[in-house]
Amino acid sequence: MVEETMEKQYFVITYGCQMNVHESEKIAGILRKRGYVEAKSESDADIIVFNTCCIRENAENHAYGNIGALKKLKKTKPDLLIAVGGCMTQQNGAAEKLRKKFPFVDIVFGTHNLDELGALIDRKTGTKKAIIDIWEKEGEINETDNSFRTSFPNAWVNIMYGCNNFCTYCIVPYVRGRERSRDPEAIIAEVNSLLDQGYKEITLLGQNVNSYGNDKGSAFTFPQLLRKICERKEKFRLRFMTSNPKDFGEELIRAIADNEQICNLVHLPVQSGSDRILRLMNRKYTAEQYLEKVKLLRRYIPDCQLTSDIMVGFPTETEEDFRATLDLVKEAKFATAFTFVYSKRSGTIAAQMEDQISEEVKKERIMRLVELVNTQTREQSSAYRGKTIEILCEDYDEKKGLYMGRDEYGRMGYFQSDKNEVGNFIKLKITETSGVSLVGQKEE
Ligand code: SAH
Ligand code: SF4
Ligand code: F3S
């Protein structure tokens, strides 16, 4: 007889950035504390939670499509709870829209009350009515760590929430509220505890880590935080994202240079290479200032690699503006970049701008941009052949039958081993390079 488990099961579906991935770990933690165990698939679950993103229209469409697809399952399983949270629900009018479109959704919550999910489930129990609870304003930072971490040997640690920058295309400040920094003591205690548990890589998260502490009178800055964390002398890697170029400076560069544990990889989203577009985007730097920072970074840390976020098709972008972006990509020698087609977000300043760019032009530009970025990535990858790199093993790739990990610059390396290597630092002699990934032989 098949043994039936009495435990209730959860399934969390995540869209969006690392911040959301980590918040899904918090959601999973809350559910586990209430006795739920992880379901293997949606159809086994007693509760399905969508942790949504609305950074671009396709992220939203994706979530809407997947929520809609659950209607059938809910019919056959009326006790199934469906909860929708994350950035999408936090937009003006989104909760209403969800309720109308998907009356079978049980709970709608936002980014500011994620920690209350347990209480919302209680409120739902015994009532047929949907529970819709979106806070307009951010609450106090909750320091209870509920996270059920799923990314060993890496662990994500929030250092701040929200964003004050209001780049004109971006929805994040509207759905995540103003910047709030966690106390340095709380962050350091969390990092120390993770290192004690054997985590080998810590990634600090914030929309703009360089503004860490600004809301507390800058008594403790981001470079100071990095230095403090690096007082732990055992071998581990420290990463952070994201840095906004406008306040990326020498003090931070020196902190990276001085500390072995901080990876020599900086993710510095440039968005565009055209000063006119950067001004319209409210990014507060010029292409030249950006490149000066890159130069300074490479002066202190010659082997430092750089990745970026780049957008095409911002309103009014001309062929000349776009070419300036291509020139900047070459000049900055990005190791790789996330490339995006501008997507109109209702409520943002750019959404009101005239001269939105046609889909056709956007498509043509993104293809040219992707090709350039990929060419650079491949060129830089091929330089790895014959070299020995150190990777931190993260996972076993079933399909390839190989272990995989990343070097400090984020390049993926694959190798064969007879024992479980997850969490080990491995020296790999690279024998093959293809696109972004590398294959090598483990050196003893
Ligand atoms: N806080 C980070 C970015 C978070 S959003 C920073 O400032 O660097 C991640 C990326 O999504 C952005 O860097 C931008 O390139 C892209 N993005 C944001 N809004 C967008 C929009 N409306 N359309 C297309 N891409 C967008
Ligand atoms: Fe969005 Fe700009 Fe804030 Fe980044 S810094 S989250 S792009 S508003
Ligand atoms: Fe992240 Fe998307 Fe929200 S990128 S902050 S989950 S809008």
Task: Kindly give the distance from the C-alpha atom of residue 115 to the centroid of ligand 1, in angstroms, as a whole number.
Answer: 25
Return d(Cα 294, Cα 331) in angstroms, integer.
10
- Report the amino acid identity of residue 165: N
Position in ligand 1 atom list of the atom nearest CA 310? 15
pLDDT recorded at residue 146: 87
Position in ligand 2 atom list of the atom nearest CA 207? 6
Name the closest-CA residue to atom 1, ligand 2: 170
Lowest mean pLDDT among 139-143, 174-178, 419-423: 139-143
Band of pLDDT at residue 5, cut at 50, 70 and 90: low
Return d(Cα 417, Cα 391) in angstroms, integer.
14
Ligand 1 near 20 CB (within 6 A): no
pLDDT recorded at residue 310: 98
pLDDT recorded at residue 436: 76
Band of pLDDT at residue 434, cut at 50, 70 and 90: confident
Mean pLDDT value across residues 43-47? 96
pLDDT tens, residue by residue, 192-234 = 999 999 999 999 999 999 999 999 998 999 999 999 999 998 9
Instruction: State percent of the chain over pLDDT 70.
Output: 99
pLDDT recorded at residue 4: 57
Ligand 1 near 52 CB (within 6 A): no
Band of pLDDT at residue 435, cut at 50, 70 and 90: confident
Band of pLDDT at residue 155, cut at 50, 70 and 90: very high
Q: What are phi and psi of 167, to 5 degrees?
A: -60, 140
Q: Do 347 and 171 form a contact (C-beta atoms < 8 A)?
A: yes
- Report the amino acid identity of residue 30: I
pLDDT of 355 strictly over 60: yes
pLDDT recorded at residue 3: 52
Q: What are phi and psi of 292, to 5 degrees?
A: -60, -40
Mean pLDDT value across residues 353-382? 96
pLDDT of 1 strictly over 60: no
Q: Do 59 and 87 form a contact (C-beta atoms < 8 A)?
A: no
Q: What are phi and psi of 101, to 5 degrees?
A: -70, -40
In this structure, which ligand is nearest to the CA of 19?
A: 3
Closest CA to 89 of 26, 132, 39: 132
pLDDT recorded at residue 95: 92
pLDDT of 288 strictly over 90: yes
Return d(Cα 94, Cα 159) in angstroms, integer.
28
pLDDT of 6 strictly over 80: no
- Report the amino acid identity of residue 262: I
Position in ligand 3 atom list of the atom nearest CA 171? 7
Band of pLDDT at residue 308, cut at 50, 70 and 90: very high
Mean pLDDT value across residues 325-338? 97
Band of pLDDT at residue 187, cut at 50, 70 and 90: very high
Average pLDDT, the chain: 95
Ligand 2 near 338 CB (within 6 A): no
Mean pLDDT value across residues 244-265? 97
pLDDT recorded at residue 145: 87
Ligand 1 near 389 CB (within 6 A): no
Task: Kindly give the distance from the C-alpha atom of residue 225 to the centroid of ligand 1, in angstroms, as a whole number.
Answer: 25
Q: What is the dihedral of CA 359, 360, 365, 368, to 10 degrees?
A: 130
Ligand 1 near 314 CB (within 6 A): no
- Report the amino acid identity of residue 264: N
What global pTM score does this model have?
0.96
What 3-state DSSP class applies to 339? strand
pLDDT of 72 strictly over 60: yes
